[in-house]
Amino acid sequence: MPQASPRDTYLQVSESLREKIRKGEITERLPSQAKLIMEYSVSRSTIERALGALKAAGVVESVQGAGWYVAGTGDRRPLVEQVTDLLRLKDVKVGDRFPTEKELCGQFGASRSAVRSAIAELEGKGLIGKVAPRGREVRALPSVKEGADA
């Protein structure tokens, strides 16, 4: 990215993201803020301002715990609901291995902190639990109500 004054760097980032969306390089979920920080070599506040400008223009939408999306696309439910559906919709049985944090980050395009928060909630509900040496397993399957309330 060309050098810019600190005042308009966020505008250059937002224009770059807008162009990637227009070209179809980003079609649904935007990269995490951490990835955008690394890609553009800017601060978190610059990324937040750029995303805020795109949101104000109706180009992107944000969902707490799910990330940023191109407006009108993607699954905007909180990550914990998406992971709960994973337990319900796949051929998952009690005692099966639960995906690692890294696997969930890749599958859902979510940050590690968002994944950890979802895992903690599922552990709190008794749906998954830790097993030795380092892993988790399915302890119970979610009811229909748990998926709706998660």
Instruction: Tell me if 31 is assigned to some domain.
Output: yes
Domain boundary among 70, 97, 119: 70
Asked if residue 86 and residue 35 are part of one domain, the reply reads no
Instruction: Tell me if 4 is assigned to some domain.
Output: no
Q: Can you tell me the distance from the alpha carbon of 29 to that of 71, in angstroms, rounded to the nearest whole number?
A: 9
Domain boundary among 70, 96, 118: 70
Total H helices, total E strands in the chain = 7, 5
Instruction: Tell me if 144 is assigned to some domain.
Output: yes
CA dihedral in degrees (80, 60, 3, 36; nearest 10)? Answer: 20
Provide the domain limits for residue 104: 79-149
Instruction: Tell me if 3 is assigned to some domain.
Output: no
Tens-place pLDDT, residues 19-61: 999 999 998 889 999 999 999 999 999 999 999 999 999 999 9
* Structure confidence at residue 63 (pLDDT): 75
Dihedral (CA of 141, 84, 149, 139) sign: positive
Q: How large is the average pLDDT for residues 120-149?
A: 84
Q: Can you tell me the distance from the alpha carbon of 86 to that of 149, in angstroms, rounded to the nearest whole number?
A: 15
Asked if residue 56 and residue 86 are part of one domain, the reply reads no
CATH value at residue 25: 1.10.10.10
Instruction: Tell me if 1 is assigned to some domain.
Output: no
* Structure confidence at residue 137 (pLDDT): 94
3-state secondary structure of 41: coil
Q: How large is the average pLDDT for residues 6-23?
A: 91
3-state secondary structure of 117: helix
